[in-house]
Structure 1
Amino acid sequence: MNPIKIILAILIFLGVSTIAKSCTPKVEDGTPEAPLTEFQFSTETEKMSIKVDTLYSDLQNPWGMTWLGDGKMLITERKGEILIFDKDEFTGQRVQGLPAVYAKGQAGLLDITAHPDYAQNGWIYIAYAKPVPGGGATTIARFKLNGNTATSFEDLIVTTPAWNGGTHYGSRIVFDNQNFLFFTNGERGSQNNAQNLSNSHGKVHRIHDDGRIPTDNPFVNTENAIPSIWTFGNRNPQGMIFDQVNNRLWSVEHGPRGGDELNLIEKGKNYGWPVITYGINYNGTPITDLTEKEGMEQPVKYWVPSIATCGMTLVTSDNYPAWKGNILVAALAGTHIARVEMDGTRATGEEKLLQGIGRVRQVSQSPDGYIYAITEGTGLLIKLLPATGM
């Protein structure tokens, strides 16, 4: 579908006005010539006016994005590509020298993030489904970038057991204030994996930035337990963010039919899947009759019906004063961004932003304090700008 038509449909749906537009033919390989397709519109939200700037419209199945601190931004495509942007424009380049990925269903090249000390060490981290005997394995790896070529590539941790299928691979990567790396891993659609400490699936994990296992991980001395496990009982956590000011780790978990969750992730805790849930099976049958149980955590917020939560970010920027402290959650089935108002660790309100924009896979705040989002279906990279003072 023509991206201009997509945006026009959005404008009609939202009842907002066009600010600027331009479109450019593409060369045979699909790479847009400069200037890129751009489209802007403004819209009113409950607490502020924003402009939405479409920076790119040819994404296929994007998953993650990160910034390198020199104006460059990287976006992953699940099929195994990393697109290189510079100052909000696609350079036409993709990272070369990456390994093959197990690209099946929801598996493939997933999240990406730069090390907090990237300016000093140059490390870039990815989560990807590694092809292994027996299927695929969520894997955390790192590499350096020389021009547009990946160098010094190394796998840091490969989850087990291998899985022949493309369901529930996670995966997000975040660093905390001590540069510990946390990553999520889905339970592969096999519910009981999440409660089994002897496999990696349905868990949040914690490792050092070089792949070593921290000695203070909660199950490091538990017989037969995977030592990288930080929490368990997690169905398919596709979003995660670390609150640096309050030292809090947050995750959103993609539920079944209903039962998406926003969770405060804390050391060693059991988040209940599939013993407790607010969702049901996709065919309408019950999973369990329990929504709570002693020793299992309750979500801070849950969604029924499901919005299909994915990526997330915490608004810390002064660019959005009315949203500061809110958590933004990407909604795939909801085709919007959920703005969740927070009071400490309590969710107190919610607003649906940009309804109909597409299957929002990730929403992120850039180092200079602007909010970006990537979508499937409509294939957009968008930037949200405060309308006042622009």
Structure 2
Amino acid sequence: MFKRKYWEWTLAGVLVSASLAAQANQTYQSDKADFRLETVAAGLEHPWAIAFLPDGSALITEREGRLRILEDGQLRGEPIEGLPELVVSGQGGLLDVLLHPDFENNRLLFLSYAHRNRDGMTTRVARATLADDALQEVEVIFEALPRSNNCRHFAGRMEFDRDGHLYISVGDRGEMDRAQDTEDDAGGVHRITINGEPASGNPFADRSGFNASFFTYGNRNIQGMTRHPQTGEIWSHEHGPRGGDEINILRAGNNYGWPKVTYGIDYSGLPISSRTTMEGITEPLHYWDPSIAPSGMAFYTGDLFPQWQGDLFVGALKLQKLVRLSLDGEQVTEEEDLLTDLGERIRDVRMGPDGALWLLTDSDNGKVYRMVPAD
């Protein structure tokens, strides 16, 4: 898994730097604002998530099992040491990285990743302390059970609410009926403390037949999660099959329907359900048909683009674009496709501390982009 030597990383960094220095910034137009797309770094192997550190640098996960540091626009040659044991298989590998809200003081971070043992594979979350460019005191605080042997739909997106509870998405693992089994950790969102216990006030804590960590269920494969800047609620999006990608607001105890209801069909072309709505099922705030394969999600809250204030940005893997959604409360009032000619699978979308939107692209030569005003 870790085959590259230090000199290979150094050589790659030199070549990337030379290439980026020669590359002119591109200019794009949108309905509200013109922007440039700056290439910050390249040469990453399937980057999955980015998290900004208080000193202005950033951590980037590569699905292949590396945690990298981006500093002053340059990728450090050697990855951070001390990662937990993980497996790279299919859609699984090293996934999300999330800083504790008080990271500046406690240096805690959280990693989601795929793990394998003799019982199969699953999604895990580990807590660690970042010190001297290495992870220390690594402890597994969440493990989705039961395990299975397929390598799909690990989900893995994470977010903190304002109370410091950690939300973890777990996909249905490619076995759709698991999303309605409330004694099975797959196919839902779990809310826990930073020590791994079910968070107080979880909706199913005192109900038999439910795992106490569940916050929502009936979720197929959530790959975008972000906190609303005003309400504090956690918003998510998830992959449908052929059609039926959804944006949802995660509310305690809600069943989001998969696979009882869906706006999509099976990859074979056969129907999954005859229903798109059902009593007791939460309808999506917005959906796409055909699928865009959404990944990464952020509200724009910076000052560089006042025209975008409050807009929601969603990356797309399959359709290789960035989607901008204008909102009136919980209603989508406008949808605009951006970067449709970039030819890149957008894996992560993050609001940067510099007021720019930052993007990661999913390929074996993954890039880090930032969107800044054209003038």
Question: Do the structures match in fold with TM over 0.5?
Answer: yes
Among the aligned pairs, what percent are the same residue?
36
- The reply on whether 1:374 has 2:360 as its aligned counterpart is yes
| One-letter identity of the residue aligned with 1:262 | I
1:6 match: none
SS in 1 for 2:96: strand
- Give the whole-Å Cα distance in 2 for the aligned partners of 1:372 and 1:36: 21
TM-score normalised to structure 2 length:
0.94
2:19 match: 37
SS in 2 for 1:364: strand
What are the within-5 Å matches in structure 2 for residues 316-327 of structure 1?
316-327=301-312
SS in 2 for 1:33: helix
- Give the whole-Å Cα distance in 2 for the aligned partners of 1:115 and 1:205: 17
Question: Which ranges in structure 2 are unaligned for 5 or more consecutive residues?
Answer: 1-5
Query: How large is the Cα RMSD of the aligned pairs?
Result: 1.5
CA offsets per residue over residues 288-316 of structure 1, 9 Å max, x none?
A: 11000000011111000100011111111
- Give the whole-Å Cα distance in 1 for the aligned partners of 2:116 and 2:244: 31
CA offsets per residue over residues 144-178 of structure 1, 9 Å max, x none?
A: 12222111111111110112111100011111111
1:175 match: 160
- The reply on whether 1:242 has 2:201 as its aligned counterpart is no
Q: Is the Cα contact below 8 Å between 2:123 and 2:170 reproduced in 1?
A: yes
- Give the whole-Å Cα distance in 2 for the aligned partners of 1:163 and 1:310: 23
The correspondence for 2:313, drawn from 306, 324, 328, is 328
SS in 2 for 1:238: strand
- How far apart are 1:215 and its partner, in Å? 2.8
1:15 match: none
SS in 2 for 1:32: helix
- Give the whole-Å Cα distance in 2 for the aligned partners of 1:28 and 1:361: 25
- Give the whole-Å Cα distance in 2 for the aligned partners of 1:27 and 1:94: 13
| One-letter identity of the residue aligned with 2:234 | L
- Give the whole-Å Cα distance in 1 for the aligned partners of 2:329 and 2:18: 41
Q: CA 1:369/1:210 → structure 2, altered by over 3 Å: closer, same or farther?
A: farther
- How far apart are 1:356 and its partner, in Å? 3.6
Q: Is the Cα contact below 8 Å between 1:175 and 1:181 reproduced in 2?
A: yes
SS in 2 for 1:212: coil
User: Would you say how many aligned residue pairs link Structure 1 and Structure 2?
Assistant: 363
What are the within-5 Å matches in structure 2 for residues 202-351 of structure 1?
202-351=187-336
Q: Is the Cα contact below 8 Å between 1:73 and 1:88 reproduced in 2?
A: no
The correspondence for 2:172, drawn from 187, 203, 207, is 187
2:126 match: 141
TM-score normalised to structure 1 length:
0.90
| One-letter identity of the residue aligned with 1:380 | K
- How far apart are 1:236 and its partner, in Å? 0.5
- Give the whole-Å Cα distance in 2 for the aligned partners of 1:122 and 1:80: 21
Q: CA 1:187/1:265 → structure 2, altered by over 3 Å: closer, same or farther?
A: same
1:359 match: 345
SS in 2 for 1:267: coil
What are the within-5 Å matches in structure 2 for residues 43-192 of structure 1?
43-192=28-177
- How far apart are 1:216 and its partner, in Å? 1.1
- How far apart are 1:134 and its partner, in Å? 1.5
- How far apart are 1:36 and its partner, in Å? 5.3
- Give the whole-Å Cα distance in 2 for the aligned partners of 1:126 and 1:37: 31
- How far apart are 1:384 and its partner, in Å? 0.5
Q: Is the Cα contact below 8 Å between 1:79 and 1:101 reproduced in 2?
A: no
After the TM superposition, which of the residue ranges 212-221 and 170-179 deviates more from structure 2?
212-221
- Give the whole-Å Cα distance in 1 for the aligned partners of 2:214 and 2:56: 35
- How far apart are 1:224 and its partner, in Å? 3.5
